[in-house]
Structure 1
Amino acid sequence: MNDLDHRPGVKEINLVRRNLKLEGVTEDNREAIILEIDTLVGVESVSFDASTATINMAYDATHCDLDGIEALLQAHGADTSQGLWTKIKEGYYKFVDQNIKDNDEHDPHCCNAMPKALPGSRKK
């Protein structure tokens, strides 16, 4: 796949897939949550599996992050599960998202110039 196969604002190299168990999702707020997350810039896809109470998302980590998505969930009365495994995954996801964002902002440079003569050394 290339970047043209994705939604605007999503680059293949920065695309991540996240699956988190949620609490507090009801039939009343489920559609609003999915719709609001789906309209965020950088979100490729989002779905909710009611049988496992799991949200499945794919997004560009340079444009979106879990903190923003969690704030959106809390605004609708839902939140990520308080279970240990969910908290471990959430911490790992945030770490990886931050690394992707930092690497995207890093401007690489090459230092292939000849070294300057050290003070006190003689030129021949």
Structure 2
Amino acid sequence: MNEANLDSGKGQTHNDAFVVHRSVRLKDAPEKPRELLDLLLKSDAVHAADLDVKARHLRISYDASACIFSDVQKLLEETGNPISEHWWEKVKVGWYQYLDENAQANAKSKGGACCSNPSDIYANRKK
């Protein structure tokens, strides 16, 4: 089996504003690619996962307001499928973690910037 592809089709249940697409190369080709994809797709936050076994290339789409890349990375490591240790993959992983933490913080915030509501500004002004 050269390639295993699965798409969950669960996209309509997620907040599309925080859906992200990530692409990483695994250290080794997974022994059980179908099981790895099934495990990834069990998460409610995951939209889709695609794995090119021969190239060891994983593409995953998920809701960053519910799950961050560190969770995906941890799951891959627990199943014996760590991400490649190549310097470029390390840069991408760090960038993905930074972006996802910001997306999650934005999703949990109660509103926009402090200055986005002029009524608050005018209400606090001395007359």
So what's the TM-score if we normalise by structure 1? 0.80
Q: Which runs of 5+ in 2 are unaligned?
A: 1-9
1:115 aligns with 2:124: yes
Residue 77 of structure 1 is matched in structure 2 by: 80
What is the rounded CA distance, in whole Å, between the counterparts of 1:103 and 1:19 in structure 2?
22
Shift of 1:84: 0.4
Shift of 1:116: 4.3
What is the rounded CA distance, in whole Å, between the counterparts of 1:116 and 1:92 in structure 2?
41
Quick one: which of 41, 46, 57 aligns to 2:44? 41
Q: Percent identity?
A: 21
1:18 aligns with 2:36: no
> Is the Cα–Cα contact under 8 Å of residues 33 and 53 in structure 2 kept in the other structure?
no
So what's the TM-score if we normalise by structure 2? 0.79
1:75-97 C-alpha deviation (Å, 9 max, x unpaired): 21110000000000110010000
Q: Aligned letter for 1:63?
A: A
* Aligned counterparts, 1:82-97, within 5 A: 82-97=85-100
1:102 aligns with 2:111: no
The runs of at least 4 consecutive aligned structure 1 residues that moved more than 6 Å come to none
Shift of 1:59: 0.4
What is the rounded CA distance, in whole Å, between the counterparts of 2:88 and 2:60 in structure 1?
18
Structure with larger Rg: 1
Q: Aligned letter for 2:25?
A: K
1:55-106 C-alpha deviation (Å, 9 max, x unpaired): 0000000111122112211221110000000000110010000110111111
Q: Residue 23 of structure 1: SS of its match in structure 2?
A: coil
Q: RMSD value over aligned CA atoms?
A: 1.8
Number of residue pairs aligned between Structure 1 and Structure 2? 112
